[in-house]
């Protein structure tokens, strides 16, 4: 990733889904998708789909919590590796 891509990924990274509970995540994950490495796109796509289902009220957060946690973890791990100074 270029430094600009890293910066875009780090600044556009959404909050933990357990805090947001699917509110406002569609825009965040749509923007994040543009700067996410291809290996992580399936996780972003899953988070985007889950957030869309919550926003459209087809599903509620409680139904999707476990799935969202599983898909968020690899994204958070990558974020922590490249965005947080150790």
Count Cβ neighbours within 10 Å for each residue of 26-47 and write b for 16 or more, e otherwise. Answer: bebbeebeebbeeebeebbebb
What is the distance, to the nearest Å, from the Cα of residue 32 to the centroid of all Cα atoms in its chain? 7
CB atoms within 10 A of CB 58: 9
Report whether 36 contacts 14 (CB < 8 A): no
| Per-residue pLDDT of the chain in tens (86 residues, 90 and over written 9) | 888 888 888 887 876 665 566 566 788 888 889 999 999 999 999 999 998 998 888 888 888 889 999 999 999 999 999 988 75
The total domain count for the chain is 1
The predicted structure's pLDDT at residue 65: 87
**Domain boundaries, position 48:** 3-83
């Amino acid at each position: 990733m270029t430094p600009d891509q890293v910066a875009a990924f780090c600044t556009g990274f959404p909050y933990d889904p357990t805090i947001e509970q699917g509110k406002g995540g569609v825009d965040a994950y749509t923007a994040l998708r543009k700067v996410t490495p291809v290996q992580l796109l399936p996780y972003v796509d899953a988070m985007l789909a889950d957030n869309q289902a919550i926003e459209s009220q087809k599903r509620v957060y409680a139904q999707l919590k476990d799935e969202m946690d599983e898909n968020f973890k690899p994204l958070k791990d990558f974020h922590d590796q490249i965005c947080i100074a150790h």
